[in-house]
Amino acid sequence: MLTLHCPYCGVDADETDLHAGGEAHLTRFGPGASDDDFEGYLFTRKNPKGVHFERWRHAYGCGKWFLAARCTATLEVFATYSAQTVAPPADVRAAITAKRPDWSWGDLS
């Protein structure tokens, strides 16, 4: 039963008020994309033990999507932040580094 802070409405929302949306920061590939790119976009998901970036929707609250940086093993939440970002902002990355100096996620670290 996680509690996540919704960066839009400011509520610390209970997991029952939230809807999980899977991995964050996917790049959409449409017509013209290679088979590999499209497969990666549609099917290949990271499944890390440790730092992960996820999409969450405050479904029974303000209705907004937001992103969370979280440890999948300890459930520690490093930050929640705007869904209108293509990559984790610097302050989010710094917050993770402060707790997990050796973290990496795809090309990020």
Partner 1 sequence: MSTRLASKGRLVDTSKAISFSFNGKNLRGYAGDTLASALLANDQMLVGRSFKYHRPRGIVSAGPEEPNALMNMGEGAFFEPNQRATTTLLFDGLKAESQNHWPSLEFDVGAINSKLSRFLPAGFYYKMFIYPRPFWKHVYEPIIRKSAGLGKAPIGRDGDTYEHFHAHVDVMVVGGGIAGLSSALAAARAGARVLLTEQTAAWGGRAAVDEPQIDGMKATAWIDQTVAELAAMKNVTMRLNCMGAGVYDHGYILAYEQLNEGGTDAPRHRLWRVRAKQVITATGAIERPLSFSGNDLPGVLLAAAVRDYVVNFGVSIGDRTVVVTNNDDAYRTALVLKKAGLSVPAIIDARPDADGPLAKAARDAGIRVETGKGIAEVKGGKRVTAVTICGQAGEGAVVETIECDCVAMSGGWSPVVHLWSHCGGKLNWDADQAMFRPDEQRPPTDGNGSGFVIPAGIANGHLFTTDVLTNGFAAGQTAATAAGAKGKVGKGPEGYDEAQEPIVPVWLMPQGASHELRSKAWLDFQNDVKVSDVQLAAQEGFESVEHTKRYTTLGMATDQGKLSNINGLAVLSKALNADIPDVGTTTFRPPYTPISMGAITGAARDELFQPIRKTPMYDWHAENGADFEPVGQWRRPYAYIRGDETVHDAVNREVTQTRDSLGLLDASTLGKIVVSGPDAGQFLDMMYTNLMSSLPVGKCRYGLMCTENGFLMDDGVVARIDDQTWLCHTTTGGADSIHAWMEDWLQCEWWDWKVYVSNVTEQFAQVAVVGPNARKVLEKLGGMDVSKDALPFMQWRDGTLGDFKVRVYRISFSGELSYEVAVDAGQGRAFWDALLDAGAEFDVMPYGTEALHIMRAEKGFIMIGDETDGTVIPQDLNMQWALSKKKADYLGKRAQERSHMADPNRWKLVGLETLDGSVLPDGAYAIADSINENGQENTEGRVTSTYYSPTLKRGIAMGLVHKGPDRMGDTLRFTNIGGEPIEAKIVDQVFYDKAGEKQDV
| 31 binds partner 1, rule: CB under 8 A | yes
Q: Which stretch binds partner 1 (CB under 8 A): 34-42, 45-53, 101-109?
A: 34-42
| 33 binds partner 1, rule: CB under 8 A | yes
| 101 binds partner 1, rule: CB under 8 A | no
| 63 binds partner 1, rule: CB under 8 A | yes
How far is Cα 53 from Cα 51, in angstroms, rounded to an integer? Answer: 7
Minimum CB–partner distance for residue 1 and partner 1 (Å): 4
Q: Residue 36 contacts by C-beta under 8 Å, 6 or more apart in sequence?
A: none
| Sign of torsion over alpha carbons 32, 46, 99, 6 | positive
How far is Cα 59 from Cα 70, in angstroms, rounded to an integer? Answer: 19
Q: Are 86 and 79 in contact (CB under 8 A)?
A: no
Interface residue with partner 1 among 6, 13, 51, 57 (CB under 8 A) is 57
Farthest-apart Cα atoms in the chain, separation: 42
Which chain residues interact with partner 1 by CB under 8 A? 1-4, 14, 21, 28-33, 35, 38, 42, 55, 57, 59, 63-65, 71, 74-77, 83-84, 99
